[in-house]
Structure 1
Amino acid sequence: MATNQSIFNGFQVNRSMLAGGVVLTGIGSALGAAGTAMVCVALLAAGRNWLRNLDTPPTALAHRALHEARVASSAGWEAWRAEHGSPN
């Protein structure tokens, strides 16, 4: 009974098997974290290359969309004022 310890009237834990399970779980967790890091690095590199190869940068697209939204808002406001005869 050197490797087994009796706890709670008959519940016996094999300490060497428990320790082996803890070690294997730790190794598996480390491998999983390393794999996750590799996937993240690969996806970031692919995303950067994709952004570099775009014809129009995303910031230019955002500026264009904002300008179009401002023009549309202004046109709508002017049409509403013309319809309702508001001097403001």
Structure 2
Amino acid sequence: MATNQNFIGGFQVNRHLLIAGAALTGAGALIGLTGTVIVGAALASAGRGWVRQLDTPPSELATRKLHQARAASLAGLEAWRTGTDGSPN
């Protein structure tokens, strides 16, 4: 009975089992976190390798697409202002 502690209503907890369970839970969480970090590092490394082998860097591609979107937006705005619907007369 030395390892048990009485609480309200006679609820008894075995401290040794509680401590062992908490220690195992902490160890499992640490192992899971370590695995997550390793997976993240592997994915980051693979992503960097993939970006290096691309013909066009993603930043240049994004800039090009942004310019295309702006040009299309301006063309649509100009067509709307002049009342051109794009259909032949």
Residue segments in structure 1 that go unaligned for 5+ positions in a row:
none
Aligned equivalent of 2:42: 42
Deviation at 1:81, TM superposition (A): 4.0
Residue in 2 aligned with 1:25? 25
Cα distance in structure 2, aligned partners of 1:10 and 1:40: 48
What is the alpha-carbon root mean square deviation over aligned residues? 1.7
Runs (4+) off by over 4 Å: none
Length-normalised TM-score, structure 1: 0.82
Distance in 2, Cα, partners of 1:4 & 1:77: 78
Opposite residue 40 of structure 1, the aligned amino acid is G
Per the alignment, in what secondary structure is the counterpart of residue 2 of structure 1?
Answer: coil
Tell me the secondary structure at the aligned position of residue 9 of structure 2: coil
* CA apart distance, 1:82: 3.6
Q: Give the 3 Å change call, closer, same or farther, for CA 7–70 of structure 1 in structure 2.
A: closer
SS at 2:38's partner residue? Answer: helix
TM superposition score normalised by structure 2: 0.81
**TM-superposed deviation, 1:53:** 0.8
Give the share of equivalent positions with the same residue, in percent: 57
**Match runs of 1:1-88 below 5 Å:** 1-83=1-83
Cα deviations across residues 17-68 of structure 1 (Å, max 9, x unaligned)? 1111111111111111111110110111011111111111111111211221
Tell me the matched-pair count.
84
